Amino acid sequence: MPEARATELSASLEDYLEAIFWIVRQKQAARARDIAKRLDVGRSSVTGALHALAERTLINYAPYDLITLTEKGKSIAEDVVRRHEVLRDFFVKVLAVGADDAEAAACKMEHAIPEGVLRRFLEFVEFMDRCPRGGTNWVKGFTYYCEADKTSGSCEKCVKLVLEEVRRRKMARNGDDQGVVTLASLKPGDKAFIVKIAGGGGIRRRLLDMGATARTEVEVERVAPLGDPIEVRIKGYHLTLRKEEASRIAVESVRQ
């Protein structure tokens, strides 16, 4: 179980930890004024929260000094970010909720959702992305149903789209779709969308835990001289993959 849940931080302190995480990711270190601006709170509130986080050994903090996360604090912050992104993606991809409303709802729910329920959210998003009856067409249809027409539907058109999607995915598996390649074949600077993560094992679980499902964007940052390992960036995370692991991840190049 992630240490984040074991510490039983208040929702407010988790918000501060998450804010510090993103500021450090951008600037390598945070200042109290950066945190106050990001959370839109007063400096006195920030000072109290920083003392509370420092007492729990989650941040390195001294008055008027730069603020960084300890290893323990970084682990907890990453868990908070992961919960937020899983929930946000569910609201956007499955429920077709607008981005701003999805962010607001994820911020409120991320602090209380049990780990088992969170994993089921993630697995459902993955299922929807992979199942030919789901995907973006399904979301578009649901959006139309909510906003325009709750009484009728075009089943024939839906079935046709499903069959086309099945054929496209079959072509990709057989190597007939020129747009689908493996992550191992990309070069530094290349960006692509994940299509499928083949097989089981640790890499598939690591990607799922990060909230990476089909249609998640991945960018290759560095490839070792002999092609192994490969460093990539996914959903703000930096990840090092063995070439064999990257070869099991089918991707579709981002069209520039």
Beta bridge partners of 167: none
The rounded percent of the chain whose pLDDT value lies above 70 is 71
Please, where in the chain does CATH 1.10.10.10 lie? 1-113
Instruction: Return the higher-pLDDT residue of 241 and 67.
Output: 67
Q: Rounded to two decimals, what is the model's pTM?
A: 0.53
Backbone angles phi, psi at 195, to 5 degrees: -100, -45
- Within 187-242, where are the H helices? 202-209
What pLDDT is attached to residue 234? 82
Q: Check: CATH 3.30.930.10 for 1-113?
A: no
pLDDT tens for 11-50 read 889 999 999 999 998 888 999 999 999 998 998 899 999 9
pLDDT of residue 231: 87
pLDDT at 136: 56
Q: What is the pLDDT of residue 94?
A: 77
Residue 40 sits at φ, ψ, to 5 deg, of 55, 55
Q: CATH 2.30.30.90 occupies which residues in the chain?
A: 180-253
Q: Which CATH number fits domain 180-253: 2.30.29.30, 2.30.30.90, 1.10.3720.10, 3.40.47.10?
A: 2.30.30.90
Higher pLDDT, 98 or 199: 98
Torsional sign, CA 176, 180, 182, 188: positive
